[in-house]
Amino acid sequence: MCLGIPGEVVEVLSDRPDLAMVDVSGVRRAINIGLLTEDPPKAGEWVLVHVGFALSKIDEAEARSALEFLESLGQAYADELAALRESRIE
Amino acid sequence: MRFVDEYRDADKARALAARIAALCEPGRQYRFMEVCGGHTHTIYKHGLEDYLPETVTLVHGPGCPVCVIPMGRVDDAVHIARQSEVILTSFGDMMRVPGGEGSFFDAKANGADIRMVYSPLDALKLARQHPDRHVVFMAIGFETTAPSTAMTVLRAAAEGITNFSVFCNHVTIIPAIKAILDSPDLRLDGFLGPGHVSTVIGARPYEFIAAEYGKPLVVAGFEPLDLLQSIYLLLKQLSEGRAEVENQYRRVVPWDGNPVALRAVAEVMELRPYFEWRGLGFISHSALRVRDTYAAFDAERRFTVPGVRVADPKSCQCGEVLKGVLKPWECKVFGTACTPETPIGTCMVSPEGACAAYYNFGRFTRSRVKEATAR
Ligand code: SF4
């Protein structure tokens, strides 16, 4: 819960500028980007996601190494992804 | 040394280890606290301690949000969940945390409607779908999750939703660090500052640790190399007689944090005069509650909670573990009566808890167990 998980912004929803479709390890879900209004992420950019909210923008290299690290954690990351898979925020 | 073989940047790690060793003054003992449970996880998972000189000890801190929730608050939440109209929602991490009268899982088995959610926004969605029920979100966590709760309350208010509230248990990291600095039974030489908490609060709030307590703090990333690099930076400061706040995780953590997130939290929440932390006792101004303006979204005002203080089980030594006074394996019930399947204390529940991390990955540090049992 405390560890942010990196995701790639696929699309910012035009009717809901506070939501973006984000791809996290192949799981594509709506994520709230309302905490990044000072520098809103665009499609193709990477964000760190915490409990449904993007908390910061990161570059792709950081995203890749963070993902590799999370994957090395095994179960803890699998649980987080499983939880994300159930999420349907709007 | 297993970690070195497994890790892709083995050469860099080896070089850092050598530089760390070179900075240690002969005969001097160094004790650094990693505040964040995510760091604890990395340290055990990669066996980082085996990789440091014997004179450098890493002390685990209180930065595991699930671990610090006192039993009484779990019981209060279960009490709310037992109201027939209520659906209690919670992060999965919280489900197995034992209260005085059992965990959320136990309460669910006994008929309470308790559901796991990934995000507070999922809880809000549940409220929209069930206008005849009242959905309570069990809000826990440090500054990494408080903005999400705040944003969800703001959204609920904007939509005029009346059947949603939060049971607010958000805690703040700075007062906990201060309590540890003021605690007489602990001598520390410096801190590894939390990574993702700092994306919200920035590095600036740690400055008093250097200025008033004369201890260095390095905000650190989560990977093994980040932690080694940060330990190196701490030792470098000590060897040069400096005590400063440094930011090793600059690629993610801005010095001033995330101002939008801080504003959202300040809009919806205010500091409580005091809050009980499991194992650490009452710490003043260390937690958040919902402001009067948003009283309609405050479960504590909508439902009367028993608010009973429940003492931790006698055998449980989580307090000592959370303060870094004891190592997990020094707790008498570690791995015997207390395991991740049947946790007695909270540190065994969350993957960020020191006991769970050690239990799962302890194979890397067997040498240390031998050391401890020989004592
Ligand atoms: S082993 Fe269990 S009871 Fe002992 S400190 Fe760890 S979590 Fe607490």
A34: CATH: 2.30.30.140
What's the confidence (pLDDT) of residue B362? 63
Partners of B222 on chain A (C-beta within 8 Å) are: 3, 66, 69
Instruction: Please give the number of the atom of ligand 1 that sits closest to the Cα of B338.
Output: 2
What's the confidence (pLDDT) of residue B3? 43
Torsion of CA B172, B296, B100, B287, to 10 degrees: 10
What's the confidence (pLDDT) of residue B366? 43
B78 and B150, same domain (yes or no): yes
Q: For residues B346 and B279, what is the distance between their CA atoms, to the nearest angstrom?
A: 10
What's the confidence (pLDDT) of residue B161? 97
Confirm or reject contact between B361 and chain A (CB < 8 A): no
SS3 content of chain B, % helix, strand, coil (to 5): 45, 20, 35
Q: Decide: B357 in ligand 1 pocket, CB within 6 A.
A: no
Looking at ligand 1, which residue's alpha carbon is closest to its atom 2? B345
Q: Decide: B338 in ligand 1 pocket, CB within 6 A.
A: yes
Specify if A90 maps to a domain.
no
Q: For residues A29 and A32, what is the distance between their CA atoms, to the nearest angstrom?
A: 10
The count of domains in chain B is 2
Q: For residues B198 and A21, what is the distance between their CA atoms, to the nearest angstrom?
A: 25
Specify if A78 maps to a domain.
yes
- Count of CB contacts below 8 A, A vs B? 126
Beta bridge partners of B245: B217
B101 and B148, same domain (yes or no): yes
The count of domains in chain A is 1
Specify if B213 maps to a domain.
no
Specify if A81 maps to a domain.
yes
What's the confidence (pLDDT) of residue A81? 86
Partners of A53 on chain B (C-beta within 8 Å) are: 119, 147-148, 151
Looking at ligand 1, which residue's alpha carbon is closest to its atom 3? B316
Specify if B36 maps to a domain.
no
Looking at ligand 1, which residue's alpha carbon is closest to its atom 5? B318
**B186 close to B325: Cβ distance less than 8 angstroms:** yes
Specify if A63 maps to a domain.
yes
SS3 content of chain A, % helix, strand, coil (to 5): 30, 35, 35
Q: Is B196 within 8 Å of A87 when comparing Cβ atoms?
A: no
Q: Is A69 within 8 Å of B223 when comparing Cβ atoms?
A: yes
Specify if B216 maps to a domain.
no
Q: Report the Cα–Cα distance between both ends of chain A, in Å, rounded.
A: 20
Partners of B66 on chain A (C-beta within 8 Å) are: 1
Considering only alpha carbons, which residue of chain A is nearest residue B143?
A: A2
Specify if B369 maps to a domain.
yes
Mutate to test the pocket of ligand 1, among B318, B325, B327, B350 (most ligand atoms within 8 A of CB): B318
Specify if A9 maps to a domain.
yes
B85 and B164, same domain (yes or no): yes
What's the confidence (pLDDT) of residue A72? 76
Burial B200-235 (b: 16+ CB within 10 A, else e): bbbbebbeebbeebebbbbbbbbbbbbbbbbbbbbb
Owning domain of residue A74: 5-85
SS3 label, residue B124: helix
Owning domain of residue B326: 318-374
Answer positive or negative: Cα dihedral of B46, B49, B52, B58.
positive
What's the confidence (pLDDT) of residue B4? 39
Beta bridge partners of A24: A27
Q: Is B19 left (phi over 0), alpha (psi -120 to 50) or beta?
A: alpha
pLDDT by residue for chain B (375 residues), tens only, comes to: 344 344 456 778 888 999 999 999 999 999 999 988 888 888 888 888 878 998 999 988 888 888 889 889 999 999 999 999 999 999 998 998 889 889 999 999 999 999 999 999 999 999 999 999 999 999 999 999 999 999 999 999 999 999 999 999 999 999 999 988 988 777 899 999 998 899 999 999 999 999 999 999 999 998 888 999 999 999 999 999 999 999 999 888 999 999 999 999 999 999 999 999 987 889 999 999 999 999 999 999 999 888 878 887 778 888 888 877 888 888 888 888 888 888 888 888 877 788 888 887 764 444 554 454 444
> How do strand A53-58 and strand A46-50 relate by DSSP bridges?
antiparallel
**B191 close to B216: Cβ distance less than 8 angstroms:** yes
A60 has a pLDDT exceeding 50 = yes
Confirm or reject contact between B7 and chain A (CB < 8 A): no
Domain with residue B142: its CATH number is: 3.40.50.11740
Best of B252, B253, B349, B360 to disrupt the A interface (most A CBs within 10 Å) is B252
- Strands (E) located in chain B: 30-36, 56-63, 86-90, 114-116, 134-141, 164-170, 190-193, 217-219, 245-247, 269-271, 274-277, 281-284, 288-290
From residue B283, alpha-carbon distances to B34, B61, B204, B305 in Å are: 20, 15, 21, 21
Q: What is the pTM of this model?
A: 0.89
B370 and B293, same domain (yes or no): no
